[in-house]
Amino acid sequence: MLTRHAPDLVIVGAGVVGAACAYYAVHAGLHVTVIDRGPVAGGTTGAGEGNLLVSDKEPGPELELALHSARLWRELAAELPSRIEYETKGGVVVASTEPELAALRRFAAEQRQAGVEAREIPADRLADLEPHLAPGLAGGVHYPQDAQVQPALAAAHLLRAAAGTGRLTLRLGEEVTAVLTGGQGVVRGVRTARHGEVHAPHVLNAAGTWGGRLARLAGLELPVLPRRGFVLVTEPLPRVVRHKVYSAEYVADVASGSAALQTSAVVEGTPAGPVLIGASRERVGFDRTLSVEALRRLAGQAVRLFPALARVRAIRTYAGFRPYLPDHLPAIGPDPRLPGLLHACGHEGAGIGLAPATGALIAAVLTSNQLPLDATPFAPERFALEEAVR
């Protein structure tokens, strides 16, 4: 994966966002070096379920980014057939009560106006989509655009495809210790613990949950915080769950800024057989301690949706940290406080789904091409402006 050219861009982070940015940058003709202190997908990406969701997003900038990403994921799946386990399984959001269903109905109507396919499913037809769902639910909404990838494979194959152009250098197990600046106050590269300085006119912060730390190496503040989540994995099963199925409360949890523990059942089958059960959210720093309470809640909520799971063994669990920003939007684009520095982080739990559109935006910015969508809502400097107002 070595190239003789000095890079035009150094990307810090080899998760799916960094990989997508590298992919689109090299295909725009740039020479790129990707640096990560660990392996490919060694952070948040490797702990993700691979969700490519539009169903949980209200109309606005993030939904526009998600819809554009959904189109790009379809293109990538065609280019990397079967390798990333792309599955257009669709999503089903269910409501337990009539008031919940009324709120879900209003939410879906707003989404349809923004371009989302959302089809209301009455209670007596839910079993057509999910035969093992619990009886007595009030109804739901089917979102055929929701999809799935295997996130670590997606990151690895995006980087492999980028390397195939001859314009990518991948440096793993190498921690960035400084962002270098020149006499004019502009970026000139990074310094790593193993091999010293890597010079480039642009540095991209794709460090995910650790994006705030990378920004501080450049002398800047970016308020990225870790939001811990757990996933339960069952023993392999026949396809008990056909779609991604979650309760209507999940949408409110995603939008919440609470630091307290929140759980709402998200249940899905996988091609390999195990069922994945999430989702929990809490802000406890980088504490990886197993939370029995979180796992107990997840298991109970999943069984209420799919009673058959009560007889199934959970064989393992894993934790990850979502990169949370206070307004629930990622930071994407150049940072005017330090010319040459760009950010692509803070996607919280949507980074896998939003990665291609993020990469396309970054590549367009760097090559002065027309942006595929309005990037203003994701401008990294918005937090500095908010701080100045205070």
Mean pLDDT across the chain: 93
Q: Which homologous superfamily is 9-50+151-224+327-389 in?
A: FAD/NAD(P)-binding domain (3.50.50.60)
Token pair in block for residue 123: 């209670």
Q: What is the pTM of this model?
A: 0.94
* CATH classification code of 121-137+225-324: 3.30.9.10
Tens digit of each residue's pLDDT (9 = 90 or more) over 257-291: 677 888 888 999 988 899 999 889 999 999 999 99
CA distance 85 to 149: 5
Mean local confidence (pLDDT), 231-260: 85
Strand stretches in the chain, DSSP E: 9-12, 32-36, 51-52, 91-95, 119-122, 139-143, 147-148, 168-172, 176-181, 187-192, 196-199, 202-205, 225-234, 244-247, 262-269, 275-281, 314-324, 331-334, 341-345
pLDDT of 217 strictly over 50 = yes
Residue carrying the six token digits 């189109």: 71
Name residue 154's amino acid: A
Mean pLDDT of 69-96: 92
Starting from the edge strand earliest in sequence, which strands make up the sheet with 119-122, in order?
A: 119-122, 139-143, 91-95, 244-247, 262-269, 275-281, 225-234, 314-324
* Comma-separated ranges of CATH 3.30.9.10 domains in the chain: 121-137+225-324
Q: Is the pLDDT of residue 16 over 90?
A: yes
| CB neighbour list of residue 375: distance below 8 Å, 6 or more residues apart | 332, 333, 361, 365
Question: Does residue 273 come out as left (phi exceeding 0), alpha (psi in the -120 to 50 range) or beta?
Answer: left
Whether pLDDT at 78 is above 80: yes
Structure tokens at 189: 């590269």
Residues 6+ apart with CB under 8 A from 193: 174, 175, 177
Report which DSSP code applies to 121. Answer: E
Q: Where in the chain is the domain with CATH 3.50.50.60?
A: 9-50+151-224+327-389
193 C-beta neighbours (distance < 10 Å), count: 12
Q: pLDDT for 98-147, tens place per residue?
A: 999 999 999 999 999 999 999 999 999 999 999 999 999 999 999 999 99
Give the burial class of 61: count Cβ atoms within 10 A of its Cβ; 0-12 exposed, 13-18 middle, 19 or more buried: middle
